[in-house]
Structure formats: C-alpha cells, structure tokens
Amino acid sequence: MRIVVAGSHGFIGSALVPRLRSSGHDVRVLVRRDPERPDEISWDPARGVLDGDALRGVDAVVNLAGTNPGTRLLTDARKRDVLASRVDTAGLLARTLADLDDGPRVLLQASGIGAYGDRGDVELDEREPLGTTFFAEVVRQWEAATEPAAAAGVRVVLLRTGVVLGAGGGALRPMWPLLRAGLGGRLGSGRQYWPWISLLDEVRAIEHLLTAEVAGPVNLVTHADRNADVVAALAQAVHRPAVVPVPSFALRLVLRDFSSEVLGSVRAVPAALAASGFAPEHGDLAAAARWAAERH
C-alpha cells in the first residue's frame, strides 16, 4: 500500500513507520518544513496548508500528530495548544481527503482512551458515551474533525489508544527512571483501571486496521489492569520493588487537569479490535512489561 503518516517522529510514529516499510509498504511522511527527501510532504496544519495533489494515488493516511499533553504543565495556553494541535491536523486531513476523488479512501486517526472519562469498574467498549473531563472533550472535538472525510465515503478509524508500554516515550516515560531506582509505586489509590497495550501491538494493530473492514472508534488496548498491578509488573520487569506510592493530592497539585488521566479509572475493552480478528502478541501484563523493560 501507499501510506502517508503524520506524526511520524513521535513515540508511536517512530515505531510505526519502520514497521510499515519492513512489511513492504511505500510510506511517505508529512513534515512541517520544506521537504528534504523524496518521501516527505510539506504541510502547515495551523495555517490549513496541504497540497491535495501530494495525496493523489495514496491508499491510506495515518494521522498520529498532536502535542503531548504530559510533557509540560497544563496551563490554559497549553490546553489550547493540545486541542488545536489535534483538531487542526485531523480537520485539515479530513477536508483534504473529502475533496479528492482519487485520494486515500482510508484515514486512521489517532484518538485517546481518555474519551470515556473516569468510569470506575464499568467495562467500556466503543459503544459507551464520551465522558466530561477535559481530555474527553478534546477527544470529542478531535474525532468530530474527521467527519468531512467520513461523509465523503472515506473509511475513518478512530484509534482510541490506551497506556502504551514501551521504551523511550509515551505516558510512562517519566516513570522509567523512578522504577529503575526502586522508587516506583502506585499512583493515588492504585485501584483505578489503566487500559494498556505494548508498543509492538499498537503498531501491529494500526497496520492491521489499514485493511480490516472496521470504521469508527476502536479501543487500542489489550487489557485493563489496576494501576498498582501495572506499576508492580513494570517494577518486577526491571527487578526493583514498587513500594513508594504517590498520593492523589500531590498528583492533582502537580499535574492539574492531566491528573484525570493518571487517577481516572478506564476499564476499556478491545471489543472492535478483537472482533476484527486481531490477536495481540503480548496478551498478558507481565509479558508486555518484560518486553518494554528489555527495550528501555
């Protein structure tokens, strides 16, 4: 397939692009500067600039672009950037694809498992309504921005990704040094459900969804376990204890609105992904944690 990827240098994108190329796909990437290589396409989402001709003859677009909300304090300005970085990119691609008769007929659009908000112990499949947290509202607008493409007959898949277990980035990046120092521990009560997936299975699932007959939201998770169990599995994988808890009030004080993603309970299940025939390589928490630790 001919595939264009946005957000190719992020945590997931930097693993996805080599995976797709090793599978024999012709992959080009969107960059926010002048192209320097034949496999690069320039765009400027903030200004709404993307040459649709560059997408002619392409089979699919994978959009993983968006500001990482966990790397800096979520001030009001940062919140606006988090939202705009998602809505601008998704909207520009959706409108561009909608205007092309011979352009991509598949759009795999990044989204987040924070869509559901804090839902306690309730199992959540893709039919559940969206929540009311800041990040649920981000997802609501993010996913709505793809509607022009869907209305034009493009198969749009909304990748509601959970906590990705891998090395070098993602939500767990700040935790690895603490875990290796033996300073890891549950966050808050530790009873909140964290829906997780290994980075390998994340990119395998995205590749699978390029051709699977699936549209709409897809929970990209393997399983949901209690936060305390996830942290304990990661600590065990690096042969360290996990006995230093972080109290909820401290997380709320430091993380502000991002604390909802850490302390909220999302017991998401991969209903649509499983129904499509996808089987994870890392089907249990211990295996996924060991795999992630070996690569950190």
Q: pLDDT truncated to tens, each residue of the chain (296 aa)?
A: 999 999 999 999 999 999 999 999 999 999 999 999 999 999 999 999 999 999 999 999 999 999 988 777 788 899 999 999 999 999 999 999 999 999 999 999 999 999 999 999 999 999 999 999 999 999 999 999 999 999 999 999 999 999 999 987 777 888 888 888 998 899 999 999 999 999 999 999 999 999 999 999 999 999 999 999 999 999 999 999 988 889 898 888 777 777 888 899 999 999 999 999 999 999 999 999 999 999 86
Q: How many domains does the chain have?
A: 1
CATH number at residue 268: 3.40.50.720
> Residue 173's pLDDT is what?
82
Tokens of 155: 């198969």
d(C-alpha 19, C-alpha 149), whole Å: 26
On whether the CB atoms of residues 29 and 4 are closer than 8 A, the answer is yes
The answer for residues whose C-beta is within 8 angstroms of residue 37's C-beta and 6 or more apart is none
> Residue 72's pLDDT is what?
77
Distances from the Cα of 264 to the Cαs of 126, 131, 177, in angstroms?
18, 11, 23
Tokens of 43: 């765009």
The answer for residues whose C-beta is within 8 angstroms of residue 86's C-beta and 6 or more apart is 65, 66, 67, 110, 138, 141, 142, 145
> Residue 172's pLDDT is what?
82
Which residue from 53, 45, 51, 62 is spatially nearest to 4, judged by alpha carbons? 62
> Residue 255's pLDDT is what?
75
On whether the CB atoms of residues 130 and 80 are closer than 8 A, the answer is no
> Residue 115's pLDDT is what?
96
On whether the CB atoms of residues 84 and 28 are closer than 8 A, the answer is no
End-to-end CA distance of the chain: 31
Residue 215: Cβ within 10 Å count: 16
Chain-centre distance for alpha carbon 183: 27
Question: pLDDT for 124-149, tens place per residue?
Answer: 999 999 999 999 999 999 999 999 99
Q: Which DSSP string do the residues of 178-228 spell out, in sequence order?
A: HHHTT----BTTS-SEEEEEEHHHHHHHHHHHTTSS--EEEEE-SEEEEHH
Tell me the residue range of the domain where 188 lies. Answer: 2-294
On whether the CB atoms of residues 201 and 281 are closer than 8 A, the answer is yes
